[in-house]
């Protein structure tokens, strides 16, 4: 990938016929079987011979596997290879967590059917021909896409694909099938705005900016959570193995999906706004703040903040903006005017009055200004716009 491009994903609903559905499900089953067998093989190899197998080692055995178990011949070769790449990633993530000293490193697990919902074609584009391969190529005037070994599956392209398609993932989500394309798109750098902002995250407000903007926690999520609780109660009342139970489980899964989508939507919109308006965005480094404050509400909110920051970084990167994570220690007790740090500065949860210089401000905005000030030390304690640095 060149420096002027970035990666984006595009997700489209698929409408497979009954036989295509069966073939897709069978591919899921076979790839999951392969993943679990591959995991077992790696564990064995390590336990017995102290040997660490690589994806490449395992991919070399695929030909022999197809000979012994002809059913794997019904799955496209790249899809099978990708299973071992995924296993490799799971191992690498595990070792990374161990190295970082995580309390629960979580060894790669065997996948149950519930935890295995996708497979991947790793090459959609033939660079030398500068054309699609047979994987994911739109056919039939864009009404279907070609999926090797499955057929031409009906698709709804609700928006145009952009850039050069790299890979295609087929995903089963709450009983619906989706085609997820990963594309290389040209970076669209936004014009400079000369503005920088500090963002403080909280539990009362989702975010507070150094410009004095308060972003509410998404309310619709709370409504969805209420609905979820009712559905979960219904589910647990119903008899296991029954048809009514199965339907209730599906309802719960659908609500979860809705929550996930709403949260993503909220995060994308907020990130988009920040990236559009500012050249530089500073936020607290959650790795550091976790060591300082660790109450439960914060831990839970942390999950959505870190995924928000990830979205923000992605958007900033493709727009040519800068995102900086700063050490948040004492940002809530420090005066953004004179830099005096004192517990007494915090008169109440929301009010900040400096005991030294008398500067008074909303406590969260003061903290956000400090966050900005740390990202751009040359700025006048977060007050002036430090455009020169950007």
- Least distance CB 177 / Zn ion (angstroms): 59
Neighbouring-strand partners of residue 153: 145
Which pair of tokens denotes residue 2? 């060149």
Residue with tokens 């020169």: 388
Strand partners, 139: 144
Tell me how far, at minimum, the Cβ of 352 lies from Zn ion, in Å: 9
Q: What is the DSSP letter of 60?
A: T
By C-beta, is 278 or 337 nearer to Zn ion?
337
Q: What's the closest the beta carbon of residue 196 comes to Zn ion, in angstroms?
A: 21
Choosing from 26, 200, 285, 327, the catalytic residue is: 200
Burial 84-120 (b: 16+ CB within 10 A, else e): bbbbbebbeebeeeeeeeeeeeeebeebeeeebbbbb
Q: State which residue, 283 or 337, has the beta carbon closest to Zn ion.
A: 337
Nearer to Zn ion, 8 or 359 (CB): 359
Q: Is residue 265 annotated as part of the catalytic site, yes or no?
A: no
Catalytic entry in 82, 88, 279, 284: 284
β-pair type (196-201, 280-284): parallel
Contact 367, 378 (CB under 8 A): no
Task: Give the DSSP letter string of 326-377.
Answer: E--TTTTTB-TTT--B-GGGB-SSSEEE-TTT--EEEHHHHHHHHHHHHH-T
Angle in degrees, CA 296, 300, 303, rounded to 5? 145
Catalytic residue among 82, 88, 279, 364: 364
Give the CB-side neighbour count of residue 240, counting CA atoms within 13 A: 0
Query: Taking Cα atoms as reference points, which of 192, 199, 209, 207 lies closest to residue 319?
Result: 192
Tokens of 190: 């936004």
Question: Which residues bind to Zn ion, rule: CB under 5 A?
Answer: 335, 337-338, 340, 354, 356-357, 359
Known catalytic residue at 302:
no
Residue whose structure tokens are 């000979």: 67
Q: Which is nearer to Zn ion, 150 or 335 (CB)?
A: 335
DSSP secondary structure, 116-141, as one string? --EEEE---EETTTTEE-SSS-EEGG
Give 288 or 355: the residue with its C-beta nearer to Zn ion: 355
| Comparison of 20 and 366: residue with beta carbon closer to Zn ion | 366
Read off φ and ψ for residue 125, nearest 5 degrees.
-125, 135
Distance (Å) of CA 113 to CA 23, 31, 32: 16, 11, 8
Shortest Å distance, C-beta 339 to Zn ion = 7
Shortest separation between residue 334's beta carbon and Zn ion, angstroms: 9
Whether 364 sits among the annotated catalytic residues: the reply is yes
> Please, what is the minimum distance in Å from the beta carbon of residue 282 to Zn ion?
20
- Tell me how far, at minimum, the Cβ of 355 lies from Zn ion, in Å: 8
Q: Considering beta carbons, is residue 182 or 356 the nearer one to Zn ion? A: 356
For 102, the enclosing helix (H) or strand (E) is: none
Cβ-based nearer residue to Zn ion, 90 or 341? 341
Q: Are 149 and 75 in contact (CB under 8 A)?
A: yes
Catalytic residues: 200, 284, 364
């Amino acid at each position: 990938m060149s420096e002027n491009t970035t990666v984006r994903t595009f997700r489209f609903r698929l409408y497979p016929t009954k036989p295509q559905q069966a073939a897709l499900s069978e591919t899921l089953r076979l790839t999951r079987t392969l993943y679990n067998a591959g995991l077992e093989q790696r564990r064995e190899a390590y336990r017995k011979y102290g040997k660490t197998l690589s994806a490449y080692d395992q991919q070399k055995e695929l030909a022999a596997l197809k000979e012994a178990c002809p059913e794997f011949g019904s799955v496209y070769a790249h899809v099978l290879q990708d299973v071992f790449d995924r296993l490799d990633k799971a191992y690498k993530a595990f070792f990374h967590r161990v190295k970082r000293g995580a309390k629960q490193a979580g060894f790669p697990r065997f996948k149950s059917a519930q935890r295995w919902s996708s497979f991947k074609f790793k090459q959609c584009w033939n660079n030398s021909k500068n054309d699609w391969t047979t994987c994911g190529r739109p056919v039939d005037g864009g009404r279907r896409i070609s999926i090797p070994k499955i057929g031409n599956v009906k698709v709804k392209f609700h928006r145009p694909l952009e850039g050069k398609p790299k890979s295609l993932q087929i995903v089963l989500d709450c009983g619906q099938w989706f085609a997820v394309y990963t594309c290389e798109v040209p970076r669209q750098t936004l014009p400079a705005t000369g503005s920088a902002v500090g963002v403080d995250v909280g539990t009362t407000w989702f975010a507070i900016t150094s410009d004095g903007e308060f972003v509410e926690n998404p309310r619709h999520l709370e409504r969805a959570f209420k609905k979820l609780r009712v559905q979960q109660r219904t589910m647990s009342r119903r008899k296991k193995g029954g048809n009514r139970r199965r339907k209730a489980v599906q309802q719960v899964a659908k609500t979860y999906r809705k929550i996930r989508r709403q949260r993503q939507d909220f995060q994308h919109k907020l990130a988009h706004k920040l990236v559009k308006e500012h050249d530089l965005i500073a936020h607290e480094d959650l790795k550091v703040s976790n060591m300082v404050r660790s109450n439960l509400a914060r831990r839970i909110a942390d999950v959505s903040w870190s995924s928000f920051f990830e979205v923000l970084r992605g958007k900033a990167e493709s727009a040519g903006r800068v995102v900086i994570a700063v050490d948040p220690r004492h940002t809530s007790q420090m005066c953004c005017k004179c830099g005096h740090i004192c517990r007494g500065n915090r008169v109440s949860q929301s009010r900040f009055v400096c005991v030294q210089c008398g500067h008074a401000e909303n406590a969260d905005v003061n903290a956000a200004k400090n966050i900005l000030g740390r990202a751009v030390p040359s700025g006048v304690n977060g007050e002036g716009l430090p455009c020169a640095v950007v």
